[in-house]
Amino acid sequence: MESFGSRLHRATRERGPLCVGIDPHAALLARWGLSDDVAGLERFALTVVEALADRVAVFKPQSAFFERFGSRGIAVLESTIRQSREAGALVLLDVKRGDIGSTMAAYASAYLNPDSSLCADAITVSPYLGVGSLQPAFDMAAEHGGGVFVLALTSNPEGASVQHAVGAGGRTVAQTVIDEISQVNVGAEPLGSLGLVVGATIGATGHDLSKVNGPLLAPGLGAQGGSPADLREIFGDSLRNVLPSYSREVLGAGPDGTALRAAADRAVTACSAVIG
Ligand SMILES: O=c1ccn([C@@H]2O[C@H](COP(=O)(O)O)[C@@H](O)[C@H]2O)c(=O)[nH]1
């Protein structure tokens, strides 16, 4: 079984370093001329999949925008995940789960077990209950070739007050998370399957990402103000492992498929120029 790190490495080499978020905001549904209901949600998500699944390395559906329509929204999320994967894109489900280990095991079953209709290639998780509490997700991912992205330095301005806080050992909270994930990825070839989320908006923070040996998801590009040029300062020598992520910037070009493809092509060209 091929690991997630290996599959992601291959996908970004073949298709370029780009993750497109599927974030059906109410404002975007309106802009696309769609109703703010399950039918609009479904048309939005499937339009993105039809336009981009054959060229984008990774889709990142934002679960919140599907959850807001209840069980019928979750059903659309299931079909979005399935159709994206069938069409050749990897799916990183942005759910940001985190809980005590025994509950985390249930989340892992929901999102990383191939028997589940919500199974994705990878998920986002929050380390606020301690990185160790996420172990059931790491184990499930390892068993089934999945991946897990742990929040480290998020793109929102409020994140630093917690993530830059210095603990007893003199390290920041974020550096502790970075170091714990780095340990798990030691020796993985060509890339570990545990990733980190590091926003494209954070500037130089002095955090050491050099030993992560795993993917570094960089949201915050475009709508939140981050640009590909900012990635250099944030990631330094770890730039090669960065997976840049755009949602509204690309989605805003829809609903026309040609315009969506052009927006994704612009994004991947701009990111490739920096990442290589
Ligand atoms: O630090 C983080 C972690 C996750 N996100 C998510 O990424 C997208 C960003 O959307 P844009 O439209 O490109 O701003 C969204 O789903 C966030 O929940 C993030 O922004 N920052």
211 is catalytic: no
- Atom number in ligand 1 closest to CA 245: 13
ipTM: 0.99
CA end-to-end distance (rounded Å), the chain? 28
Cross-strand pairs, 127: none
Task: Select which of 7, 25, 43, 96 is catalytic.
Answer: 96
DSSP string, 137-179: HHHHHHHHT-EEEEEEE-SSTTTHHHHT-B-TTS-BHHHHHHH
Output the ligand 1 site: residues, CB below 6 A: 21, 23, 62, 94, 154-155, 197, 199, 219-220, 222-224, 246-249
What is the model's pLDDT at position 51?
98
Q: Give yes or no for a contact between 211 and 204, defined as CB atoms under 8 angstroms apart.
A: no
Cα separation, 193 vs 187, in Å, equals 11
Q: pLDDT tens digits, the chain, 276 residues: what are they? A: 999 999 999 999 999 999 999 999 999 999 999 999 999 999 999 999 999 999 999 999 999 999 999 999 999 999 999 999 999 999 999 999 999 999 999 999 999 999 999 999 999 999 999 999 999 999 999 999 999 999 999 999 999 999 999 998 899 999 999 999 999 999 999 999 999 999 999 999 999 999 999 999 999 999 999 999 999 999 999 999 999 999 999 999 999 999 999 999 999 999 999 998
What is the model's pLDDT at position 192?
98
Q: Give yes or no for a contact between 151 and 122, defined as CB atoms under 8 angstroms apart.
A: no
